[in-house]
Structure 1
Amino acid sequence: MNFFTVSSFIICFSIGAGESCTKITENLHYSCMGRNLSYIPPSIPSSIQTLDFSFNVLKHLKKTVFPVLSFLRVLDLSRCQIKHIENDTFYNVKNLTALILTGNPITYFGPGCLNFLRNLQRLVLVDVGLSSLQLQINNLTKLQELRVGTNNIQSMSLPPFMSSFKDFSLLDLHGNNISVIKTHHTAVFREIGRNMTLILSRNPLSYIEPGAFKDVYLRRLDIRSTFASSAAQKAGLKALYGLNVKRLMFGKFRGEFKFQFSDAHVLDGLCFIHFQEIYYYIIERPSEPVSIFRCMINATNVIVKSGVIHEMEYVFFHEIKELYLLQDQLLTLPGKQLSHLHTLEKLVIAHNIEPLRAGTSFTDMPKLQYLDLSSNRMTLTRCCTTLLSGTPQLRYLNLSQNGEIGLELGGFDGLASLEILDFHHTRVLDLGYYSSLSNLKYLRYLDVSYSSITFVNIFSFYGPNNLKILKMAGNKFKGDVASYLFSNLTLLEHLDMSYCHVVELHPSSFKNLQRLRLLNLRGNNLMTIDFLALPDLKRLTSLYVDKNSITSIPLHVLQKLPTNLSEIDLSSNPIDCSCSQTDFILWIIQNQKVLKQPENIFCKTLSPSSDFRATDFDIDSCVHKKRLTIVLSVCFVTVVVLLSFLVYRFQFYLQYCCILLRGYRSPGQQECSYDAFVIFSSYDEVWVMNELMENLENGVPPIQLCLHMRDFQAGKSITSNIIDEGIMGSRKIIVVVSQHFIDSAWCRFEFELAQSRFMLERNANIIIIILEDVEERKTKKVFGLHKHLKKNTYLKWSRDPLSNMRFWIRLRKAIISTNQ
């Protein structure tokens, strides 16, 4: 390997080491956990305050292991395989306040290895192989916590010098091998302040010298799963007489061995311990009734978990404020036994093992504010005035996850202070039919989710006008009751209507909910959310409409969405990903920060099982298609308009062509009714009647003329008469040209039709009579007239007798002659 290769390797290694730690907070907090490091990376800044170096390899700790980190306060060296700690190891990190050495197989502690840590407040030596509390920690005068659980310590005796540690407040000895406690073992505890917590759980304690804890003041004592036998527990509790403790925790952890009691007085020792709060976990199975609460009458907080209490005893607690009965085996709700507790403020009877019978009511409990009766499989036929007749200050009532509860009108009389009511996953009867909540004017929170309610009465929520949170998921609405159900809940901020089988919501449903911030409509069958365009929902910040049947949202709705809306869930809807919905798809793409789970918005219209994301839809392709469509549409409209104009402009000619196409024969092939059709202006009618008709029809042989004012059929369109009677019904066409003829639109039209016949048949004769001289430029005004006069012989009327005679002879000859 050459020099260049070696240099490259060193550089790469250094870079790798620098990247091996994760920056949690810039220059303050780094984590190097589980990186298989054997040294502190040089990239760690000197300003660091917290370093997690757990699960690495530091078998031998000495001064050179740590760089100078003067600001380091928390150092975690858990599971680093540390075996040897030298005296000056922590010199460069002397300002530590927390040192964690959990899970290291330490075989050697330098006598003064911790002497430099004068500011240390928390020392964790869990599972490090300690056999004694006689540690060289003389200089740790600011120590507050010493955690030495899961070791092999056999005595809880602290070094005498620790009596001067005035801030010392926690000693954790759980999971050690302490079996005996004598009076001299607790000497230091008598001298330390009264804020001390002592954890002795999971030690095989068999003997406590009576009075060993006399005049000891503790904030908390945990002796769960501490006694080796039932007899040891009975004797141990008695030996704790004279102990003053704020919170006493005893009993068994779940899943551990349970004693079988044959002594009803096994808990009598509690009567000689001064405590305020008592936590009794997993009561051992007695072979005869045990008076659990007799020695707890002076406690303020009592928790009994997983106890066998078939019938609760009458207990006259003196100052009790909170009572918890959790996962017990009560058979009947102990209303009678707990009544008259004037100091009780909070009562929790929950998760009972057996179905709990209602029993008697709670009476004379003037300070009770919090009552939790959840998860007891309880059935109440009438609730709740009778059951809670003596609880006028009740503010919290939880009856969730029970069997069935029946409500009635006035069911909450006397409970006007109620603020929180929870019925979720409990079958509630009659709430959808009556105004059962009418007197709960201070109610702020109501949960009736999955309570098998069908809302029929629009006044079901009449009364609780101060309601802010309403959860009603999993219920049903009859007809359009949802459109009016919330009309008086003007202070509502959170509404959950998920999984309610809702197909459509009328905008009036949320008309008065101007303070609504969260609306949950998940799991319904909604196809539109047009109600979002309402100005009433201007404060809405969160909307959940996932798992519905929404294919699109119109542009006008998107433009009127509440401006405060910061979270929308549209996932799991059959979104229509087509070019007709480009506005909606573009909105999805542009608002992914607002959309919750945008990656789960799929184009289901392509296929029900499609996994094509709406955010991947190609909008540009639609733009090109749209442009092409617009161009084609414009062209089509232009052609239609042009054709319409041409049809309108030449409608008579088209009609003439249609008539010909329908099978009209030419005058030569059919018998014509007239010899000649006369085209003239009505202003020239006198000349036509007096001169033309008189000379032709009364001459020899007579010539039958077709004159529009005389021969056109009444009730028939003028155009049809011109074509049928005039042009197609006559062998010849006579055109009387005058200034009036030039100016007449009908004359021009008739002449053009005549020309059309000439063009189609090639043998149609048009005889032009110039009644009066017309300027040549004016003849060009009539399509084809000027050209016809240039190419064909025409007759000119004259008042000269000789010319007049020749005119009639030539005209009669032109009419009578047969086309070759």
Structure 2
Amino acid sequence: MAGCILMAVILFSNFVSIVPYSVQLPEKAYYVANYSHHSLHSVPKDVPLQTTVLDLQQNYINILVISDFSSLPNLKVLNMSQNVLGELDCNVFSLNKELVYLDLSHNSLTIISNQCNEGLQHLDLSFNNFQSLSMCEKFENLIHLDFLGLGAEIVHRSDLRGLEHLMLITVVLELEKLSDYEPGSIQMLNTQMLRLVLPIKEMDPWIILSDALNASVSLEVSNINYTTTGIGPESFKHSRVSDMTMEKVTLTWSAMIGLFQAIWKSSVKSLTVKKVTLVGLIKREQFYYGTTSVQAVTVQNVTITKYLFSQDDVYIFFSEMNIQNLTLNHDSILYMLCPSKPSPFRHLNFAHNTLTDATFQDCHTLVRLESLILSWNKLTELSKVSFMVLNMPLLQHLDISHNSLQYEMGDECQWPGSVLSVNLAANDLTDSVFRCLPTTIKKLDLQRNQIGYISAEIVQLLALEELNLASNRLKDLPDCRPFKSLAMLNVAFNVLQSPSSEFLHSCKSVETIEADNNPFQCDCDIREFVYQEKQTSARLTKWPASYQCAYPETVKGTLLQDFRISELSCNRTLLIVLVFITVAVLALFLFCLCKYLDIPWYIKMLWQWTQTRHRNRIRSNRPQSLKQNFSFHAFISYSERDSSWVKECLLPNLEREDGSIQICRHERNFVAGKSIVENIVNCIDKSFKSIFVLSPNFIQSEWCHYELYFAHHKLFTENSNELILVLLEPIPQYLIPARYHKLKALMAQRTYLTWPKERGKQRLFWANLRAAITVNLPEADESGPFQESGERI
């Protein structure tokens, strides 16, 4: 729809800037059609039928007809300010029975015809071109009217008679082009608040102002632009105004003092003066304070045209006021005098000036002061500020924010014992500030400073309930020990990455924590923090939308409540226990596997085989070391009781058909006629290796013992390594007789081959045994050196 920004289902707050507070519309769905600033010359024809709020301000519309709004039965609010309307026929809105708000200000209206809808609550016709207020007779039927804006060049009592019966809340009376005023006219209005715009051209406004002071309880006056006046101290004596505001005031200092003097004796309780221009010379003027109804004075945005004057002539006028509240904002005051006697001041507001630490030093007369606001000034040293307020025994609230305050460690600080609230926001304070604070405070604002860490070794703020540390450099939550009563903590916009969960656990009194918009490091610590937050009564404000992971990159943007990490990754004790159990189970599994598969035996045999092959390679490289009289590869010593294993198992696996391995055994190779001992020695000498088949039977054979003795003797006398022990059956050490000490020594010192019962292991056993005896022997005579002989026992 051209030129239309249609917003459906919008609450009243969305267009509160259009509808003044005086019109209370029901809170429900509204349809707003906004055509402002569209350079329109007439009301558009395509306004949605459901429109309730129509904004047509700042266009060029010069005429209205009934068809412009006849299709909008739900229209409640119409804003047509700042157009070029010249005439208005109220019948234009005859079909808009729901219309309650009509703004036609800042147009060029001169004529209004017919009566307006009686349901109107807000009607603004100010800043138009009306010659007189005679059109007010058209408003007699507006019994629901709360707000009325008027303006004319001529104001007579008779023109306002039709409004006497209306119970108005606010009346705007714009008299910028006033040329004729009948005294008492304004008093015809029955309103609670009067906003009066005085004439711009020079004419005595004081008759108008005097009437205004008797027309309402609240009065706002603008355009007091006169340098001289005949107003006297008693001019406003019979006024009924309680709250008075003067804006756009241009007066001499003398006229300003006169106006204040008149107000001082009136019914005014609260006086506000804005946008003041003081013209001419400034000199000290006499002012009679006396008894007054005035309780609060506010002076804002003062401009001085002549600078050659004594500052004390101005400051003494304000410092001696016998009122409770004094506000001097945006006035560029350099300092303020201490009252000459005990002052009734309870609240002083000197924000947005150029006051320094020297203000009120050694001042003993502000004995009733409860609140002091010195924000946006030139304060630099916190310790000096403490001495500034030291003599204010009832001071409870101190606002020294937006200065350049610092605190140097070691500077002495003394505060009155009554301070409950201190605002130190937007200064240059660091961690040391916690050593220069009043111990009685309940509310402390330190946002936007340079605080990075809060130690437990600070002034104990045991009464502190609210602490604002937003926008600092905190990397962790503060230690709770100095803040036993803390209920609210704000640490938003800091550099918290892994806030300690200990704070939540130890600070039982904390009810609210605001920690949003921090660069949280999503790890085990943050997991514990979130868990503790759920377990405690403390509430995280803006949770969960403003609590997101910033690191690591893989989870950046993830809400803290959605971040997941395993318990195993965070519990070191559990991890150690789990690793220990895993290792133990694995070790037990490997042990059982090794036991079941006899893996140590295989490893042992492979090692022996490797060592044997290594020794054989060394010998093959040194043939000269091999004796030329070896006739056999091995001599076998065994018990006759083990002969079946030797003959049926050992010999068939060692002696090959090609005759490459020659075995010497007593049944076959002992020489007849020689003694058994001599045959044993000859066989051992003629054999490259000596194989002893060990078993319990072996240790019972006397001849086996002799053979072992001679072989052992050769082992040591020739420094050879040609002895092979084959353990056919296990031999417990306790079964070996004491006289067989050589056997015990050999079994303890030398590696022996164990005959495996399992068939799968036997192949490796034979490989090891063959490798141990394999060697190239010299060629022997065909007859051989021995002949078979009888058996031995």
1:56, 1:457 → 2: CA distance? 56
Alignment of 1:181-580 (within 5 A): 181-183=181-183, 186-187=184-185, 189-193=186-190, 195=192, 197-201=194-198, 203-207=200-204, 213=210, 216-227=214-225, 229-231=226-228, 233-234=229-230, 245-250=241-246, 252=248, 267=259, 270=262, 274-276=266-268, 277-281=270-274, 282-289=276-283, 291=285, 293-294=287-288, 298-300=292-294, 301-306=296-301, 331=311, 344-356=323-335, 359-360=337-338, 363-365=341-343, 367-380=344-357, 386-392=362-368, 394-398=370-374, 401-405=377-381, 406-407=383-384, 415-426=392-403, 428=405, 433=410, 436=413, 440=417, 443-453=419-429, 455-456=431-432, 460-461=436-437, 463-464=439-440, 466-471=441-446, 473-475=448-450, 482-485=455-458, 488-489=461-462, 491-496=464-469, 498-500=471-473, 504-505=475-476, 508=479, 512=483, 515-520=486-491, 522=493, 528-531=498-501, 534-536=504-506, 539-544=511-516, 546=518, 554=525, 556-560=527-531, 562-563=533-534, 564-567=539-542, 575-578=550-553
Give the Cα separation in 2 of the matches to 1:498 and 1:517.
16
Instruction: Quote the offset at 1:309 in angstroms.
Output: 9.0
Structure 1 residues 137 and 523: CA distance shift in structure 2, 3 A: same
What code does the residue aligned with 2:248 have? K
User: Cα gap change, 1:170/1:573 in structure 2, threshold over 3 Å: closer, same or farther?
Assistant: closer
CA distance in 1, matches of 2:455, 2:167: 61
Deviations 1:351-405 (A, max 9, x none): 442522x64466423x532222344433335976x32454245244546623345
Unpaired segments of 5 or more residues in structure 1? 1-12, 312-326, 592-633, 712-724, 756-767, 769-776, 795-802, 810-820
Match of 1:101 among 91, 100, 104: 104
Distance in 2 (CA, whole Å) between partners of 1:738 and 1:271 is 128
Distance in 2 between residues matched to 1:383 and 1:269, nearest whole Å: 27
Indicate if the aligned counterparts of 1:238 and 1:268 stay in contact, CA closer than 8 A.
Answer: no
* CA shift for structure 1 position 512: 4.9
Secondary structure of the corresponding residue to residue 31 of structure 2: strand
Name whichever of 95-104 and 402-411 sits farther off: 402-411
SS at match of 1:686: helix
Deviations 1:410-464 (A, max 9, x none): 8755645433222224455768547846653x54322234544455597544622
- 2:124 corresponds in structure 1 to 124
Name the structure, 1 or 2, with higher relative contact order (CA <8 Å, separation 6+): 2
CA distance in 2, matches of 1:667, 1:408: 100
Deviation at 1:736, TM superposition (A): 5.1
Match of 1:159, SS state, is helix
- Match of 1:287, as an amino acid? L
CA distance in 2, matches of 1:207, 1:292: 24
Change (3 A) 1:199 1:389: closer
Q: 1:176 and 2:176 equivalent? A: yes
1:496 positional shift: 1.1
Paired with 1:298 and 1:101, the residues of 2 have a C-alpha distance of 41
State how far apart, in whole Å, the 1-side matches of 2:419 and 2:48 are: 60
TM-score by length of structure 1 reads 0.62
Q: CA deviation at 1:33?
A: 1.3
CA contact (8 A) 1:529 1:553 kept: no
- Matched residue of 1:380: which SS? coil
Contact kept in structure 1, 2:396 and 2:420, CA below 8 Å = yes
Looking at structure 1, the residues matched to 485 and 393 of structure 2 have their Cα atoms a distance apart, in angstroms, of 26
- What CA distance in whole angstroms lies between the structure 1 residues aligned with 2:477 and 2:170? 61
- SS of 2:490's equivalent in the other structure is strand
Instruction: Check if 1:112 corresponds to 2:127.
Output: no
Identify if the C-alpha distance between structure 1 residues 156 and 41 changes in structure 2 by more than 3 Å, giving closer, same or farther.
Answer: same
Task: Give the letter aligned to residue 274 of structure 1.
Answer: S
**CA distance change for structure 1 residues 128 and 408 in 2, over 3 Å: closer, same or farther?**
closer
**2:724 maps to which residue?**
733
Q: Compare CA radii of gyration and give the structure with the larger one.
A: 2
Residue 88 of structure 1 corresponds to which residue in structure 2? 91
Residue identity in the other structure for 1:733: I
Change (3 A) 1:445 1:209: closer
RMSD (Å), alpha carbons: 5.7
Q: Is the 8 A contact 2:59 2:82 kept in 1?
A: yes
Distance apart, 1:124 and its partner CA: 1.0
Relative to structure 1, the CA distance from residue 482 to residue 166 in structure 2 (aligned partners, 3 Å threshold; closer, same or farther) is same
Question: CA 1:551/1:156 → structure 2, altered by over 3 Å: closer, same or farther?
Answer: farther
The alpha-carbon distance between structure 1 residues 329 and 223, as it changes in their structure 2 partners (threshold 3 A), is: farther
CA distance in 1, matches of 2:170, 2:766: 124
Are the equivalent residues in 1 in contact too, given 2:252–2:281 (CA < 8 A)?
yes
How far the C-alpha of 1:44 sits from its partner, in A, is 0.5
| Alpha-carbon separation, structure 1, partners of 2:264 and 2:610 | 122
**Once the two structures are superposed, what CA deviation does each residue of 1:91-148 show, in whole Å capped at 9, x if it has no partner?**
2223533211234455663x3152xx22323211244433321103332344343213
In the other structure, the counterpart of 1:75 is 78
Find the residue that maps to 2:297 and give its secondary structure: strand
User: How far, CA to CA, are the matches of 1:519 and 1:663 in structure 2?
Assistant: 81
Amino acid at match of 1:541: I
Question: Secondary structure of 2:357's partner?
Answer: strand
Structure 1 residues 431 and 545: CA distance shift in structure 2, 3 A? farther
Structure 2 residue runs without a partner (length 5+): 12-26, 564-581, 628-683, 737-743, 774-786
1:182 corresponds to which letter in structure 2? E
* Partners of 2:301 and 2:459 in 1: CA distance: 42
Q: 1:418 to 1:805 in 2, by over 3 A?
A: farther
Q: Distance in 2 between the 1:660 and 1:24 partners?
A: 97
Cα 1:432/1:211, change in 2 over 3 Å:
same
Q: Distance in 2 between matches of 1:21 and 1:78?
A: 21
Q: Following TM superposition, by how much is the alpha carbon of 1:513 offset from its aligned partner in structure 2, in angstroms?
A: 5.6
CA shift, 1:516, in A, is 4.2
Equivalence for 1:676: 689
1:69 and 1:84, CA in 2 relative to 1: closer, same or farther beyond 3 A?
same
Quote the offset at 1:217 in angstroms.
3.5
Q: Could you tell me how far 1:32 is from its partner in structure 2?
A: 0.8
Aligned residues: 650
Q: Residues 175-195 of structure 1: CA distance to partner in whole angstroms, max 9, x if unpaired?
A: 631134333xx34x3444473
Per-residue deviation at 1:543? 0.6
C-alpha spacing 1:686/1:553, structure 2 compared with 1 (3 Å): closer
1:692 to 2:693 alignment: no
2: CA distance between counterparts of 1:125 and 1:178? 16
Contact preservation (8 Å) 2:298, 2:327 = no
* Structure 1 match to 2:10: 24
